[in-house]
Amino acid sequence: MRWQIEPLGGGHDRSSFECSKPTLDTFLTRYASQYAKRNLARTYVAVRPGETRVVGYYSLSAAAIRVLDLPEPLAAKLPEHPVPAALLARLAVDRTVHGQGLGRLLIGDALVRCFELSEHIGLHVVTVDAIDEEAVRFYERMGFTRFRDQSDKLFIPVSAIESGLPS
């Protein structure tokens, strides 16, 4: 196993994390623990087995979206009130491991967690606010679809996650 993904803890070394997006670096090094203490987000980190240095991470939060933001075919099937969602709030990979498949692994782990959560509470989609157009293209390759009239916000239905899980 190249990496393991686990909840962020006090023993993780975040000090040298650098993904080339300063806001994502700063979140991990300064705010992720505070967000967890305040129940605003949970952060999961990737480390090499037996090591503590963080080489990737993602954060999850609860969210709700307007049904009118979904594409028409999906929106037509839903009641006209906020739709329960999970927000993949942040995802980043240290530049020392760019191009090695860790981003894909982190997305997969996040989506499995969200699917498992959907078995306990109402959860219709997983959303993400992409930091830039490069991130939009990455999420689209992972199966996410852009919201109606919002080029940097994407979603994937929980039903699509379920159909993509190994049986």
3-state secondary structure labels for all residues of 97-132: HCCCCHHHHHHHHHHHHHHHHHCCCCCCEEEEECCC
> Which residues are catalytic, by number?
139
For 27-40, give one letter per residue: b (16+ CB within 10 A) or e.
Answer: bbeebbbebbeeee
H helix and E strand count, the chain: 6, 7
